[in-house]
């Protein structure tokens, strides 16, 4: 499937630091594979709070439909996003701190009632699944994407079925 960086983004991947991108680029790769227009930004909930708030608040009027936020340590980026938009926000906790991502997991998943963040697994699996979940959200209005998700599952199943330990 073709990459679509030239169109207005349907999904934004936001990371709290450039150091998060090694892991979060896997979300971008999945979106590329499915041909979803997306953009990526570094915005910090604590280092650039006003800039981050403005970006999240403007996302809906730009046509964005899903936000993916990856951050480590006291990871309040996804919560800060969710507080500034009613778009679905998917949070990916990242490891790298002394607590290996447990801090980021709890910071992301334990949102108080009323401002939801859909929280994925720590690290690469979470980045990949955030993108797949974003595609599942987009696919409710786009049957071609739902079919592409079915094909992706079938590809995974075929790979497992053909695996040999010898
Ligand atoms: C968080 O602090 C970022 O999301 C990153 O995971 C972590 C460390 O950031 P750097 O010090 O590497 O910029 O805000």
For residue 5, the model assigns a pLDDT of 53
Pocket test of ligand 1: the residue of 14, 16, 51, 68 to mutate, having most ligand atoms within 8 Å of its CB, is 16
Taking CA 88 as the corner, what is the angle to CA 87 and CA 93, rounded to the nearest 5 degrees?
A: 130
For residue 3, the model assigns a pLDDT of 43
The alpha-carbon radius of gyration of the chain (Å, integer) is 16
State pTM to two decimals: 0.95
For residue 6, the model assigns a pLDDT of 59
For residue 93, the model assigns a pLDDT of 98
Q: Judge whether 77 and 16 are in contact, CB under 8 Å.
A: yes
d(CA 17, ligand 1 centre) in Å: 5
Task: Please report how many Cα atoms fall inside a 13 Å half-sphere around the Cα of residue 41, on the Cβ side.
Answer: 22
| Cβ density class 65-90: b for 16+ within 10 Å, e for less | bbbbbbbbbebbbbbbbbbbbebbbb
**Mean pLDDT of residues grouped by 10 in the chain (166 residues)?**
65 98 98 98 97 98 98 97 98 96 98 98 98 98 97 97 93
CA gap 84, 6 in Å, rounded:
26
CA gap 83, 102 in Å, rounded:
22
Q: Residue ranges of the alpha helices (H) in 34-142?
A: 49-59, 77-82, 102-109, 124-138
Dmax (CA) of the chain: 56
d(CA 99, ligand 1 centre) in Å: 13
For residue 31, the model assigns a pLDDT of 98
Backbone angles phi, psi at 77, to 5 degrees: -60, -50
**Size of the chain, expressed as the number of residues it contains:** 166
For residue 1, the model assigns a pLDDT of 36
For residue 54, the model assigns a pLDDT of 98
For residue 2, the model assigns a pLDDT of 41
Pocket test of ligand 1: the residue of 23, 73, 124 to mutate, having most ligand atoms within 8 Å of its CB, is 73
User: In the structure, which protein residues have their CB atom closer than 6 angstroms to any atom of ligand 1?
Assistant: 16-17, 19-20, 44, 71-73, 94, 96
CA torsion through residues 68, 15, 8, 26, sign: negative
């Amino acid at each position: 499937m073709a990459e679509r960086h030239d169109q207005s983004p349907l999904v934004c991947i936001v990371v709290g630091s450039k150091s998060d991108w090694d892991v979060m680029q896997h979300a971008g790769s999945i979106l590329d594979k499915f041909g979803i227009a997306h953009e990526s930004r570094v915005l910090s909930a604590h280092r650039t709070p006003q800039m981050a708030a403005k970006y999240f608040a403007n996302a809906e009027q730009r046509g964005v439909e899903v936000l993916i936020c990856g951050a480590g340590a006291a990871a309040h980026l996804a919560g800060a996003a969710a507080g500034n938009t009613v778009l679905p926000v998917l949070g990916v906790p990242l490891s790298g701190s002394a607590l290996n991502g447990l801090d980021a997991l709890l910071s992301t998943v334990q949102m108080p009632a009323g401002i939801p963040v859909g929280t994925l697994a720590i690290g690469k699996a979470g980045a990949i699944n955030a993108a797949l979940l974003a595609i599942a959200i987009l696919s409710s209005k786009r049957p071609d994407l739902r079919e592409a998700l079915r094909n992706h599952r079938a590809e995974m199943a075929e790979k497992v079925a053909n695996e040999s330990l010898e």
